[in-house]
């Protein structure tokens, strides 16, 4: 029986070395895409979607998330970026670059007729040794100043350099306020954006800021000792689900109908008043008649509040989110010292301050354009992730490629103790780590060969914290200079990159699978890198 009688002639298939070559190329293309964004001197990418929306960023996970990627191996590499982001909040570009370089170096070994199983075994040994070395080379930190340095390192290259001291202080304060037993829940920190004013006006607000204004100007602008009701239900009269006709034969009937409708809407407001609430946050719409009566009752009201904001308000104020207005009681209300509408230009925002839960925080980002604000948000999220990761184990490593160079040097020493072909794989792993300082130098317009030579000489002389200070353009002790990176970011990046590289190397056959129910996928997904 021939192969063609088993698999459909229409099916696409890559076998053996072709499959490996194809997958490695796909992973390398993804790594090359984000390579130029690495470091404080990295370049930005402009991403334009089909309707013309623009994103300008050098954030690795954002770039990969927005790109249209078809090749299955390339998608596997993108997944590690997402995992890196979820686990530690930063280091996505590093993880993807290491994965691409590991596969590129593995290809050299494959060309020498070394079996993928031997390469993957060597890579596993190297990864285990690298993890051990990272822990040995890490240093403990405990001061807020050092945590601020971690935040500043994370933000460099993301449009926030000239404000990094202020942003670093905001990030550290926010993390300190929400952390418990050394763990910070980043969901407690809300990031809100407002166009107008300058980036310098970005501030940390101890409370919740909602991007909504009160529904009526007749309502009070500020409410002290706010008793807050959170309602999911629309405060409107729902129309019939099926078409219906109402026959009205006299003006009295019409007036009666209007009065009845008005009475129903008024009763909704009475229900809110009865609970004792003086602030109402509604997830859905509010009828104009209801708005009128709420204003008359002096109840500060905002509508169409996002579900995530409702959840944050519930956590911050101690209120319960009530699905039906009729179920609202005094016990369901939350508390805040004040609820106030503040206007910046024409746009108003609601500030809920002095909350029951002191861990409710909002970072309000201001800036001239949406593109600037969005990039600052990504920089702050990276910084928050890094500081939170550092707080877990209080350990950092020297940045600027210093840690990669030192681990690389020690891996080469480790390789000398090995026998067999696995040694070659360990050496290639060591060479992969040098790709990080090389790229940092390249992106900064420096000669990568000169830099690498200087770094190697310094590390051979036992200066283990020597890395690239790209602000001075010199090779120096980055730990002393305050260029710090969380240990967790590095361990996760190396673990993720190794895992995906091994997984791709073990694939020796790529076959277009048959369609599953509800899936219109075609073998064209395999065309990406023909």
| Nearest CA among 254, 305, 248, 257 for reference residue 282 | 305
Q: Are residues 298 and 406 in the same domain?
A: no
Q: Are residues 349 and 484 in the same domain?
A: no
Contact between 348 and 209 under an 8 Å Cβ cutoff? The reply is no
Q: Are residues 407 and 329 in the same domain?
A: no
User: What's 350's DSSP letter?
Assistant: E
| Average model confidence (pLDDT) across the chain | 83
Q: Does the residue 428 lie in any domain?
A: yes
User: What's 238's DSSP letter?
Assistant: P
- Which of 334, 357, 380 is the last residue before a domain boundary? 357
Taking the C-alpha atoms of residue 189 and residue 209, their distance in angstroms, rounded to an integer, is 11
What does the pLDDT average to over 103-111?
Answer: 90
pLDDT of the residue at 249: 63
201 in active site: no
pLDDT of the residue at 119: 92
Contact between 212 and 303 under an 8 Å Cβ cutoff? The reply is yes
User: What's 210's DSSP letter?
Assistant: E
Q: Are residues 345 and 406 in the same domain?
A: no
Taking the C-alpha atoms of residue 469 and residue 513, their distance in angstroms, rounded to an integer, is 49
Cα distance between the two ends of the chain = 29
Q: What digits encode the pLDDT tens for the residues 124-133? A: 999 999 999 9
User: What's 196's DSSP letter?
Assistant: B
Catalytic residue among 33, 57, 62, 92: 92
Catalytic residue among 37, 57, 83, 93: 93
Contact between 408 and 467 under an 8 Å Cβ cutoff? The reply is no
Taking the C-alpha atoms of residue 33 and residue 11, their distance in angstroms, rounded to an integer, is 30
Taking the C-alpha atoms of residue 295 and residue 168, their distance in angstroms, rounded to an integer, is 42
| Nearest CA among 350, 364, 324 for reference residue 215 | 350
pLDDT of the residue at 338: 92
C-alpha gyration radius of the chain: 29
What DSSP element (H or E) covers 118?
helix 116-137
| Nearest CA among 1, 75, 2 for reference residue 504 | 75
Q: What digits encode the pLDDT tens for the residues 167-198? A: 888 888 888 888 877 777 787 888 888 887 78
Taking the C-alpha atoms of residue 360 and residue 205, their distance in angstroms, rounded to an integer, is 9
Q: Does the residue 311 lie in any domain?
A: yes
SS3 228: strand
Catalytic residue among 37, 59, 83, 94: 59
Give 504's pLDDT tier (boundaries 50, 70, 90): confident
SS3 158: coil
Q: What is the pTM of this model?
A: 0.74
Taking the C-alpha atoms of residue 167 and residue 383, their distance in angstroms, rounded to an integer, is 9
SS3 86: helix
Q: What count of residues does the chain have?
A: 530
Q: Residue 519 burial (CB < 10 Å; 0-12/13-18/19+)?
A: exposed
Is 239 or 220 the better-scoring residue by pLDDT? Answer: 220
Helices (H), 191-326: 251-275, 288-296, 307-317
Contact between 237 and 266 under an 8 Å Cβ cutoff? The reply is no
Catalytic residue among 382, 386, 390, 491: 382
- Residue 98: give its domain's CATH number: 1.10.560.10
Taking the C-alpha atoms of residue 211 and residue 267, their distance in angstroms, rounded to an integer, is 29
pLDDT of the residue at 66: 80
Q: Are residues 276 and 224 in the same domain?
A: yes
Q: Does the residue 257 lie in any domain?
A: no
Burial 350-380, CB ≥16 within 10 A → b, else e: bbbbbbebebbbbbbbbbeeeebbbbbbbbb
Q: What digits encode the pLDDT tens for the residues 224-279? A: 999 999 999 888 766 554 565 666 666 665 555 455 566 777 888 888 888 899 99
Q: What digits encode the pLDDT tens for the residues 425-478? A: 999 999 999 999 999 999 888 888 999 999 999 999 999 999 988 888 888 998
pLDDT of the residue at 133: 94
Phi, psi angles (nearest 5°) of residue 277: -75, 140
Q: Does the residue 330 lie in any domain?
A: yes
Residue 144 CA to chain centroid, in angstroms?
23
Q: Does the residue 99 lie in any domain?
A: yes
Q: Are residues 435 and 323 in the same domain?
A: no
- Which of 300, 325, 357 is the last residue before a domain boundary? 357
Q: Are residues 340 and 410 in the same domain?
A: no
CA–CA distances in Å: residue 350 to residues 165, 209, 217, 294? 28, 6, 13, 17
90 in active site: no
Longest dimension (CA), the chain: 101
Residue 337 CA to chain centroid, in angstroms?
32
User: If you write DSSP's letter for every residue of 362-427 in order, what string do you get?
Assistant: EEEEEESSHHHHHHHHHHHHHHHHHHHHHHHH-EEEETTTHHHHHHHHHHHHHHHT--STHHHHHH
Cα angle 210, 213, 215; round to 5: 130
| Percentage, residues of the chain above pLDDT 70 | 86
Q: Are residues 15 and 94 in the same domain?
A: yes
| Nearest CA among 2, 33, 8, 53 for reference residue 528 | 33
pLDDT of the residue at 201: 84
Q: Are residues 342 and 475 in the same domain?
A: no
Domain total for the chain?
2
Q: Does the residue 183 lie in any domain?
A: no
93 in active site: yes
Q: Does the residue 247 lie in any domain?
A: no
Report helix angle 288-296 to 251-275, nearest 10. Answer: 50
Tokens at 178, concatenated? 């929400």
Q: What digits encode the pLDDT tens for the residues 34-89? A: 888 888 788 888 888 788 888 888 777 888 888 878 888 888 888 888 888 877 77
Q: How many helices (H) and strands (E) does the chain have?
A: 16, 21
Q: Are residues 340 and 431 in the same domain?
A: no
Q: Are residues 337 and 428 in the same domain?
A: no
Tokens at 181, concatenated? 């037993």
Is 397 or 5 the better-scoring residue by pLDDT? Answer: 397
Q: Residue 393: left (phi > 0), alpha (psi -120 to 50), or beta?
A: alpha
Taking the C-alpha atoms of residue 29 and residue 354, their distance in angstroms, rounded to an integer, is 50
Q: Does the residue 377 lie in any domain?
A: no
What does the pLDDT average to over 505-530?
Answer: 55
Taking the C-alpha atoms of residue 40 and residue 439, their distance in angstroms, rounded to an integer, is 11
Q: Are residues 412 and 320 in the same domain?
A: no
Whether residue 159 has pLDDT greater than 70: no
Contact between 510 and 493 under an 8 Å Cβ cutoff? The reply is no
Give the CA count within 13 Å in the CB-facing half-sphere of 82. 9
- Which of 357, 386, 408 is the last residue before a domain boundary? 357
pLDDT of the residue at 14: 55
Whether residue 11 has pLDDT greater than 80: no
Q: Which domain holds residue 293?
A: 207-241+264-357
- Residue 352: give its domain's CATH number: 3.50.7.10
Q: What digits encode the pLDDT tens for the residues 305-364? A: 998 889 888 888 889 999 888 888 999 999 999 999 988 767 788 999 988 777 778 888
pLDDT of the residue at 121: 93
111 in active site: no
| Percentage, residues of the chain above pLDDT 90 | 24
């Amino acid at each position: 029986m021939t192969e063609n009688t088993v698999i459909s002639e229409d099916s696409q298939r890559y076998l053996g070395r072709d499959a490996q070559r194809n997958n490695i190329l796909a992973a390398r293309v993804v790594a090359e895409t984000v390579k130029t964004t690495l470091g404080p001197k990295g370049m930005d990418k402009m991403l334009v979607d089909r309707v013309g929306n623009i994103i300008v960023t050098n954030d690795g996970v954002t770039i990969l998330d927005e790109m249209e990627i078809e090749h299955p191996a390339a998608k596997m590499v993108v997944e590690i970026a997402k995992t890196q982001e979820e686990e530690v909040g930063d280091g996505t570009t590093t993880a993807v670059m290491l994965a691409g370089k590991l596969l590129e170096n593995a290809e050299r070994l494959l060309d020498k007729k070394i079996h993928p199983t031997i390469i993957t075994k060597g890579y596993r040994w190297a990864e285990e040794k690298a993890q051990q070395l990272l822990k040995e080379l890490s240093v403990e930190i405990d001061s807020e100043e050092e945590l601020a340095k971690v935040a500043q390192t994370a933000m460099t290259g993301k449009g926030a350099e000239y404000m990094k001291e202020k942003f670093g202080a905001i990030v550290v304060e926010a993390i300190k306020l929400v952390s418990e037993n050394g763990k910070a829940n980043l969901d407690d920190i809300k990031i809100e954006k407002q166009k107008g004013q300058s980036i310098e006006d970005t501030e940390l607000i101890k409370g919740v800021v909602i991007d909504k204004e009160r529904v009526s100007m007749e309502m009070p602008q500020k409410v002290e000792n706010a008793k807050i009701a959170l309602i999911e239900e629309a405060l409107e009269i729902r129309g019939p689900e099926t078409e219906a006709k109402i026959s009205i034969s006299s003006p009295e009937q019409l007036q009666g109908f209007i009065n009845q409708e008005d009475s129903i809407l008024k009763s909704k407001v009475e229900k809110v008043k009865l609970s004792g609430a003086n602030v109402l946050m509604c997830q859905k719409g509010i009828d104009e008649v209801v708005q009128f009566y709420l204003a008359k009752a002096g109840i500060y009201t905002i509508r169409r509040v996002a579900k995530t904001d409702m959840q944050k308000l519930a956590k911050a104020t101690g209120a319960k989110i009530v699905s039906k207005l009729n179920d609202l009681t005094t016990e369901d209300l939350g508390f805040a010292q004040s609820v106030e509408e503040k206007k910046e230009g024409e746009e108003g925002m609601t500030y809920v301050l002095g909350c029951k839960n002191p861990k409710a925080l909002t970072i309000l980002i201001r800036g001239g354009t949406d593109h600037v604000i969005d990039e600052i948000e990504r920089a702050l999220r990276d910084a928050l992730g890094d500081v939170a990761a550092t707080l877990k184990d209080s350990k950092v490593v020297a940045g600027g490629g210093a840690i990669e160079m030192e681990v690389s040097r020690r891996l080469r020493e480790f390789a000398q103790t090995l026998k067999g072909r696995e040694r070659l794989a360990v050496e290639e792993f060591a060479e992969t780590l040098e790709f990080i300082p090389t790229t940092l130098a390249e992106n900064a317009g420096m000669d990568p060969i000169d830099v690498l030579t200087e770094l190697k000489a310094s590390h051979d002389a036992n200066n283990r914290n020597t890395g690239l200070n790209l602000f001075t353009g010199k090779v120096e002790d980055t730990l002393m200079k305050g260029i710090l990176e969380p240990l967790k970011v590095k361990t996760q990046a190396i673990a993720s990159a190794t895992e995906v590289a091994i997984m791709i190397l073990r694939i020796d056959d790529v076959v277009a699978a048959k369609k599953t129910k509800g899936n219109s996928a075609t073998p064209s997904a395999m065309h990406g890198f023909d």
